[in-house]
Amino acid sequence: MDEEKSRGTDSQENTVNDSSGDITYHYTRPQYGQYRFHEEQQTTREDQDEEDTSKVKVTLEGKDRKPVPFKKKLAATIVLAVIFGMVAGTVFQATNILSQKYFGTASATDTKVSTTESVPETVAASDNITDTSSVQDTANEKGTVAAVAKATMPSVVAITSVSIQEITSFFGYGMEYPSTGSGSGIIVGENDDELLIATNNHVIEGATTLSVCFIGDDVVNAEKETRNVASGDGDINIDDAVSAKIKGTDETNDLAVIAVEKKDIPEDTMSEIKIAQLGSSDDLVVGEQVVAIGNALGYGQTVTSGWVSALNRTITLEGGSTASNLIQTDAAINPGNSGGALLNMKGELIGINCAKYASSDVEGTGYAIPISEAQPILEDLMNRKTRDKVSGSSKAGYLDVEVTDLTAGAIQMYNMPSGAFVMRVTPGGAAEQAGIQKNDIIVKFDGQTVSGRSDLVEKLSYYTAGETIDVVVARPDDGEYKEQTISVTLASRDNQGHNNA
């Protein structure tokens, strides 16, 4: 199978000279009861005396009691009823306020999000259908692609990330500046407190600030607000846009899950968003029609349609790494589409858009990660603890090792696993005390696959000194690498020295 030069479709672009021309790699980086009034039967004073002479009648001294007319009784009763209603209403509201303050009430965190509707098979427009859903109506009137879009767009989000980039100035010293990126995500699950969103790892990699814009159109302003938050100026204050946190990442498979707290989502937005229905990419055939939805060019949700061009594609990504078993489609995949949805004509999620082939000689070649391969990875990431990036190097945790990347040639020649190769272990440091040795290869960190040095450093940035973490290392033994799990209590920066992890 020929490998094709490609990269993900985020907002960044790089150009790489190739023998076939310049190739640009894109990352798709509460009614009161009715009162009833009745008139009591009137009796004479003599009748009352005859009925019960034992009763003592009390009257006001110096005044004779006169019978009160019925209309006055009625008016007085109505006034009392109004007063009662006002008092009851006030008490009701006060009770609600107090219960919210001290005991909590039903809120967004108690809301369960429904899944997207299935798109029915195409129905002829002349058919007389009287009881149909909105999605069926759309399919009949506008076509199946429009029906897929209507059913599934509530499950697709726009993601804005801000990361810190370092460049070298003309005078040779480093300068840091914030860089904003756009991408897409798909709502794939929830727990009691969070909404869980799947995306590509390269969309959120290195992000210091993340925001998610749901079904609203104010994506451009959401990006501006996110940049302001990253610089410490204000909060995200855009309809349907909220802050997000990274829950778990898998760089090797270019997958990640981010989480949004339900209490942060406006009630009207919560009532409209949906969880995507997962389909089966194993059932795909070449020539099958598909729909791609994502935050193309950072403008908000965009819909394109095409066909499955090929299956099980292998491509070479930026940096020489490869991605295998991808779905190839001619549906337009543009910068910002990374992490977006590839859907079949039933509105089921069959792939996560990840890359496109960009060249002056090539058009209409995009790629997606099959959902059947992504699902078990996403399920693992969804069950992880949501973490914040640790602020301040003195609080961050370290292994006390120096690591480097393994080359593709070394991995192939020596049958080495992918991971971060340990070049040096600090004597008496956290790693050495735990049992990590020089020449070990760190392949997993706290249950997460490690692809290399930068991936390990990025994962460490979410852990604090003093935490005990399970690290899986591959160690050479009789000509082969065998894995073992080692528990390491992370050290602080003061003990880090010149090591990088």
Strand order in the sheet with 245-250: 241-243, 207-213, 156-168, 174-190, 194-199, 255-261, 245-250
Which uninterrupted H or E stretch holds 490? Answer: none
Residue 332 contacts residue 292 (beta carbons within 8 Å): yes
Closest CA to 146 of 157, 136, 154, 131: 136
Distance CA 501, CA 423 (A): 11
What is the number of H-type helices and E-type strands within the chain? 11, 23
What are the φ/ψ torsions at residue 391 (nearest 5 degrees)? -95, 130
Is 38 noted as a catalytic residue in this protein?
A: no
User: How many other C-beta atoms lie within 10 A of the C-beta of residue 25?
Assistant: 22
- The runs of H, that is alpha helices, within 159-235 are 201-204, 219-230
Half-sphere exposure of 13 (CA within 13 A, CB side): 11
Catalytic-labelled residue, pool 11, 26, 202, 309: 202
Catalytic-labelled residue, pool 211, 281, 338, 451: 338
Is 202 noted as a catalytic residue in this protein?
A: yes
C-alpha dihedral (181, 187, 189, 195), degrees to nearest 10: 60
Distance CA 141, CA 215 (A): 23
Closest CA to 325 of 8, 24, 3, 26: 3
Distance CA 403, CA 156 (A): 38
DSSP 3-state of 482: strand
Distance CA 91, CA 99 (A): 12
**Tokens standing for residue 407:** 């080359």
Distance CA 307, CA 290 (A): 5
What are the φ/ψ torsions at residue 348 (nearest 5 degrees)? -95, 145
Is 338 noted as a catalytic residue in this protein?
A: yes
Catalytic-labelled residue, pool 254, 400, 446, 455: 254
**Which residues carry out catalysis?**
202, 254, 338
